[in-house]
Amino acid sequence: MENNIVKINNLSHRYGASWAIEDINLEISELGVFGLLGSNGAGKSTTMNIMCGVLNQTRGLVKIGGYNMQDDPISAKKLIGFLPQNAPLHMELTVHEYLTQCAHLRLIDKKDVPSSVDKAMAKCGVAHFRNRLISNLSGGYKQRVGIAQAIIHEPKLVVLDEPTNGLDPNQIFEVRKLIREVGEEKCVIFSSHILSEIQATCSQIKMIDNGKMVFSDTMDAFNNYIQPDSLVMTLLNPPAISTLQNFDGVQSVVAISSTRFRIHFADVQSITERLIRASVEYGWRMSEISLEKSSLDQIFAQLSNQKSS
């Protein structure tokens, strides 16, 4: 048996004449929460559906815990818990009834079903709602029940597709916390098109753009791509733009309005401090100075260009 929980080689899939994903490679051999980041339509859901055996790929290899998804799908799927973007909840059932049904579908031994249901409810913080209809739960608790069905059979791999979509900030915070807790015991793949969600939850990041894997590394390594590279400054009594352009450390200046400027720089701490001092010294009357970071689109473009070069 291979040590890899997930092994994907040259995974590609085509819908008609269009390739949704091409030559995706991915290996995960440890526990933790791994972010799968990409814009809507980038190929994330296609990759996860193939990984979980929902969709047969056009070409390529998928192994889960050493089992080939195409050759031995039953053994591979036993190791997977999956929460798709639209949680497969039965609204007319209570939490306990639904999870009991899920336990049976997962072929858990009949004598172990009650304890498996109780453990999943406790882990996901829904035990106190065991007799409540799922239709009467808040969005956050519905997601918790969705995660409970994904872990009820103690899988090695848990795949969560956009699990915080549509939740309010408090619900997002709680679901993030739950996902991190699950990641202490299992390998979790967390898909999102929102960078802040991946940053708040994941230790490693896999990025897909236009159906291709363009980045796979730690979150710390990824953060090198989103360092501040410009700032916006409002000066009520601005100097000539040439004065700002010739300021030591400034690489370029864009006038957003007659009093507002975007400054591109080399060293954020040095340039910020010196601009503030200059504003006081020369009477520029600075009323705002704020850092900007590379947008997600810019990061995608940069990584895609590196991948193709």
Q: Which of 14-18, 133-137, 305-309 has the highest mean pLDDT?
A: 133-137
pLDDT for position 191: 93
Residue 48: CB atoms within 10 A of its CB come to 22
Query: Which residue did the predictor score with more confidence, 68 or 303?
Result: 68
What φ, ψ does residue 144 adopt, rounded to 5°?
Answer: -60, -40
User: Is domain 6-224 annotated with CATH 3.40.50.300?
Assistant: yes
* Cα 187 to chain centroid, rounded: 14
The rounded distance, in Å, linking the Cα atoms of 159 and 87 is: 12
The answer to whether 186 and 33 are in contact (CB under 8 A) is no
pLDDT at residue 289 above 90?
no
| Cβ-proximal residues to 275 (8 Å cutoff; 6+ apart), any chain | 233, 247, 263, 286, 289
User: From the centroid of its chain, how far is CA 223?
Assistant: 14
Structure tokens at 24: 């995706």
Higher pLDDT, 1 or 52: 52
Using one digit for the tens of pLDDT, what is the confidence trace for 201-219? 998 999 998 899 988 999 8
Does position 267 have pLDDT exceeding 70, yes or no? no
**Average pLDDT of the residues of the chain:** 90
Which H or E element spans position 174? Answer: helix 169-183
Q: What is the pLDDT of residue 230?
A: 81
Q: Collapsing DSSP states into helix, strand and coil, what is residue 36?
A: strand
d(CA 4, CA 120): 25
Question: Residue 253's pLDDT is what?
Answer: 92
Q: Which two tokens stand for residue 76?
A: 């591979």
**Domain coordinates in residue numbering, the chain:** 6-224, 228-293
Tell me which of 140-144, 198-202, 220-224 is least confident.
220-224
pTM of the predicted model, to two decimals? 0.76
Report the number of secondary-structure helices (H) and strands (E) in the chain: 11, 14
For residue 295, pLDDT beyond 60: no
Instruction: For 268-282, write each residue's pLDDT tens digit.
Output: 557 888 899 999 999
Handedness of CA 21, 26, 31, 34 (dihedral sign): negative
133-156 pLDDT, tens digit per residue, is: 999 999 999 999 999 999 999 999
The two beta strands, 80-83 and 157-161, are: parallel
Instruction: Please report the pLDDT score of residue 226 as a whole number.
Output: 64
Instruction: Output the pLDDT for position 282.
Output: 95
Angle 16-22-23 from CA coordinates, rounded to 5°: 145
**What's the pLDDT at 271?**
81
The residue assigned the tokens 């829904």 is: 126
Q: What is the pLDDT of residue 291?
A: 76
Strand intervals (E) in 127-249 = 157-161, 187-192, 204-209, 212-218, 228-235
Say yes or no to pLDDT of 37 above 60: yes
Confidence of residue 305 (pLDDT cuts 50, 70, 90): low
Give 81-99 pLDDT, tens digit per residue.
Answer: 999 988 899 999 999 999 9
Average pLDDT value for residue range 288-303: 69
Q: Which helix (H) or strand (E) holds 252?
A: strand 250-255
What pLDDT shows up at residue 300? Answer: 66
Give the chain's largest Cα–Cα span.
Answer: 80
Domain covering 228-293, topology: Alpha-Beta Plaits (3.30.70)
